[in-house]
Every structure is written in C-alpha cells, then in structure tokens.
Amino acid sequence: DGGITQSPKYLFRKEGQNVTLSCEQNLNHDAMYWYRQDPGQGLRLIYYSQIVNDFQKGDIAEGYSVSREKKESFPLTVTSAQKNPTAFYLCASSTSDRANWYFGAGTRLSVL
C-alpha cells in the first residue's frame, strides 16, 4: 500500500541532544513537508521540499534542520537549539497539483 511512514511513534530527547525523526513515502511525490502541532493548536509548517536536494524554511524553522537526498525520504532533525521541542510532528507529501495531501501517523516528541 502506498503511504507515508513516520518513525518512531514516540521519541524522548535529553537536554542538549539532537534527535532525528524519519519520514519515508512510496507515493512518488516530489513535495514533502514537516509540520509541528502543539496541544489545542493547528499545524505549523517547519520545512518543506519541492524536489530532491532542495528545501525551504517554513514558518517555524529555527532549531530544526532537514535533508532531502532521496525522493522517498525527508528526515527532520530537532537540534539542541530548539528549546521547546515537545510536540506532535507530522510529515506530509502532496501531488504535483497540490490537490491531494497525505499525512503520516506522526511522531510524538517529549523532553526527558
């Protein structure tokens, strides 16, 4: 089945540690996105990529980094510079006409 796979489902970060969230898709989509959701809030865009080896900052990119070395993969690193990383992280991809969007099941990140 085609879809987006995020891992892990739950992740814990220690003080000063970088952690990486995985996002893999087999939908052959060029465009991929990372969103952050805080309790009772909507989704806010962190980074997005429209094509391999290219990505742009979203609205809340500070403290995060991404790479897009393969079409299927768009990992997100939460760096130690992100002082409030506790949130639900969602990866998404879209068709080229942006008419159809697909979301992964999400990763819930907490701070130890």
Partner 1 sequence: QKEVEQNSGPLSVPEGAIASLNCTYSDRGSQSFFWYRQYSGKSPELIMSIYSNGDKEDGRFTAQLNKASQYVSLLIRDSQPSDSATYLCAVIESGTASKLTFGTGTRLQVTL
Residues forming contacts to partner 1 in the complex (CB under 8 A) are 31, 33, 35, 40-45, 48, 50, 58-59, 88, 90, 92, 94, 98-99, 101, 103-106, 108
The answer to whether the beta carbons of residues 47 and 58 sit under 8 Å apart is: yes
Nearer to partner 1, 99 or 112 (CB): 99
Side-chain half-sphere of 90: how many Cα atoms within 13 Å? 15
Minimum Å gap between C-beta 16 and partner 1 is 28
Minimum Å gap between C-beta 95 and partner 1 is 12
Place of tokens 């701070």: 111
Nearer to partner 1, 13 or 44 (CB): 44
Nearer to partner 1, 4 or 78 (CB): 4
Percent helix, percent strand, percent coil in the chain, to nearest 5:
0, 55, 45
Q: Phi and psi at residue 62, in whole multiples of 5°? A: -60, 130
Minimum Å gap between C-beta 15 and partner 1 is 26
CB burial string 17-46: b at 16+ within 10 A, e below: eebebbbbbeeebebbbbbbeeeeeebebb
Nearer to partner 1, 2 or 40 (CB): 40
Minimum Å gap between C-beta 80 and partner 1 is 27
